[in-house]
Chains A and B, each alone.
Chain A
């Protein structure tokens, strides 16, 4: 048993009082003197050349301060394009539009109402081009190019946009010999699974304030998950030093889920802030814009071919993965990486072949969404796993346990050693512990079924984090980090870590919100990485403080540093306990006029095969592998096709749970979000690329009435490099849900749905087919 006093305890969230009292500040709560209100004029066509934009009527409207269109901004900044890894996106379209809703002009006015009125007065003449809406058409059709010359774009090394095509990144991976593997197999399965496109739907819509300063700096106040990432996007595009762009997080973010990762839906704020320099301007998207103007989850088509022996051993697997990334690459290429490298599943497969493409279409932009490409492939491989198990007559748990990866196994895609694999335990526990609900025997048309699924995902490496800790004269502690509290409970976890190391009460800790001019580097609050990376950095910064305190105490107490220990805020001789000094007394005696102690922590996690030659590591780096499994009980009404989730049991290997109640909360919320993504959420596009459901009435997310019983199990297989063994959780909990539900549905009524969402009409159709 560990002996931690703060870590591993369900301590109340550090931000909870502010949040229940309604004083927690979000971007729309920031008041700045002289603030103007911005509104984006958006494209009405999915693919068209812009012939002319007439802003004159809008400019004349009383209360309008300025209007900016793409051309003026582009000319001033030498055609700036943003995007990482592929810079393909203009701040405002000036030559052609590529999706309905694409920003083409922005108005700044003295009130929101006037700004909204003004954009209606902007007249745009278009010349329409045939759009490419369907991913398969886009992949084949080389005449409708969404980006005419992909080679002209700046692109990070390792990414492969194919010129004169609609493919913005392509990946092939091969290991072993799949053809031979299929020949040696007793049975070969081939299935195609599709995943619909969905939206993050944070309750807080995107918002930002931007201001150009006369000294050449730009400041933004944002609701985003990656202040340093946003800064880099803007600075790179405008060809200015990163340090001249300041991103201040608006204290709290009202839900992210990947959607507020890089603020691409709000980049139009830069041209208008430039135009009205030097006044601040705010753009707050409304709910409709939140659907059409910000990123979404990739729709996907995954073709999976798997060869198995009669005993269930997988011999060979090939996968074709297509991601519909919409009009601009955004993070699509890196989402493709996670999908391509993750599509074999957490299984030992000697022969693999993957062919994956990220494909442009004239639709709104797809990018990061909780799971980052893995939900799409997990839906495929875990559904097929049950198809295989069923055909071979093997229990679904047994076939998984037979094939799952084990500690030290080198994966065929990443070619990295797996570590801290709690997958078997997760699978076993969810299968054992879900006790089936009692069936009311009087109801004839309702059938029940049980399903399991599992998954894995890696966090992002190489990746790092830095943290400062300021120990105040009175013993209070301020933590400076740039990972963002988006609801996941990160600030609490970081405070627990600092309190643990400094042996100080939890109440003594504060965590500052990210500000690129104050808090040190953190790449992005994504990939379930904050606890691992920022947690390690904070722990190191706290240890640095302890080290400094020991040095000061050793002089005052006249004891060797090595003989000192810290407990309950006091430093003492650990052998004899005879000498003791509290931290506050120590500071007072050392710095009579007051001072602070500054702790620094920098943690960097390399990837094997990717380590700079001069860096010497004690042991090879191990990727941050996250594993989880879920079991689901469903009830299906065979007359209406309605599927009810009765209960879900979700187990995740968290390495070490720093705050169990937070982990539980994240599990419950993540699973319900995944249920929404499985059963009813879907962005519906018409044939012209227009999203048809742009309100919460038409795009339903789960309400309290849709909530089944969700229980969580936290498995703890410590990661060697995690803080106290901890690793991430946020994404693990959404990965297996869809397949577990699909498998439970099959168990209940014997039909297999392969395209999400699993709707009543699909179930009824499948039942009809089955009867034939």
Chain B
């Protein structure tokens, strides 16, 4: 016999970082909690729980979202990308590498979300202006760096990805 709690659980199937996952979840669980607590991917950070800081940014089918505002159940059948999914077999991803080269990291807590927002931007706009970069990361708050080196890193990653 199912207890009420189990009865209320839903089966969802989704891809996280190109791997197939199945979770039996309660309908009110947030994507952030699913990623951190059930998938064990702690690179996605919790900063405010209200979609204001951007630390929990992940990509759903390539679109950046605050995972603290998304119900996990809505991601059934979708593809999620987290910071752990960017590098392939330990090979550093171009944007990560640019953040390293430009020194665009301090405490590091906003970094995963910042990199994912940058990826979404560059996937759609390989040649962004500085203003477009600022807009793309406006939802990712950073209290340490003053953004300058982050913007430089995104510019530099874009150049590299364009083969310049």
Residue ranges of A at the interface with B (Cβ–Cβ < 8 Å): 10, 12-13, 15-26, 28-29, 200-205, 252-257, 284, 286-287, 486-489, 661-662, 664-673, 695-697, 701-705, 707, 710
Contact = CB atoms under 8 A, between A and B. Distances in A.
B137 A704 contact: yes
B84 interface: yes
B106 A665 contact: yes
Given A203-B110, A704-B133, A707-B146, A16 B50 contact: no
B134 A695 contact: no
Nearest to A284: B46
Interface string B110-153: 11100100000000000000000111011111111111111100
B134 A705 contact: yes
Contacts of A487: 106-108, 144
B106 A489 contact: yes
B43 interface: yes
A695 B107 contact: no
B144 A255 contact: yes
A668 B52 contact: no
Contacts of A255: 106-107, 109, 143-144
Contacts of B46: 28, 205, 284
B138 to A, nearest CB: 5
Contacts, number: 173
B67 interface: no
Nearest to A29: B42
Nearest to B149: A665
Given A25-B42, A487-B107, A669 B100 contact: no
A696 B110 CA distance: 15
Ranked nearest first, the 6 interchain pairs of A and B with the lowest CB-CB distance are A22-B43, A487-B107, A254-B109, A19-B108, A22-B83, A668-B146
24 contacts: A15-B105, A16-B105, A17-B92, A19-B108, A20-B96, A20-B100, A20-B115, A21-B84, A21-B87, A21-B92, A21-B96, A22-B111, A28-B42, A203-B47, A203-B141, A204-B45, A204-B47, A287-B49, A668-B148, A669-B146, A696-B48, A696-B50, A704-B133, A704-B138
B44 interface: yes
Contacts of B87: 21
A286 B144 CA distance: 20
Given A26-B109, A487-B106, A703-B138, A671 B146 contact: yes
B145 A669 contact: yes
Place the interface of chain B in its size category: 35 or more
B106 A20 contact: no
B72 interface: no
A15 B108 contact: yes
Contacts of A665: 103, 106, 144-146, 149
B34 to A, nearest CB: 14
A489 B43 CA distance: 20
B148 to A, nearest CB: 5
Contact of B148 (A287, A696, A707): A707
A673 B43 contact: no
A672 B135 contact: no
Given A696-B50, A704-B150, A707-B147, A202 B109 contact: yes
B52 A705 contact: no
The listed residue with most B CB atoms (<10 A of its CB), out of A20, A255, A666, A667, is A20
Contacts of A671: 146
A257 B139 CA distance: 22
Contacts of B133: 704
B108 A254 contact: yes
A697 B96 contact: no
A487 to B, nearest CB: 3
B38 to A, nearest CB: 12
Nearest to A24: B108
B46 to A, nearest CB: 6
Given A15-B108, A204-B107, A707-B134, 16 more contacts: A16-B103, A20-B92, A20-B96, A20-B115, A22-B112, A28-B45, A202-B107, A202-B143, A205-B47, A252-B109, A286-B49, A668-B149, A669-B106, A702-B146, A704-B138, A710-B148
B137 A253 contact: no
The listed residue with most A CB atoms (<10 A of its CB), out of B45, B47, B92, is B47
Contacts of A486: 107
Contacts of B146: 665, 667-673, 702, 707, 710
B31 interface: no
A12 B99 CA distance: 10
A20 to B, nearest CB: 4
A183 B86 CA distance: 70
Contacts of B109: 26, 202-204, 252, 254-255
Contacts of B108: 15, 18-20, 24, 252, 254, 487
Contacts of B16: none
Interface in B40-86: 41-50, 52-53, 55, 82-84
Given A13-B105, A21-B43, A695-B50, A701 B143 contact: yes
Contacts of B43: 21-23
Contacts of B101: 12
A665 B147 CA distance: 9
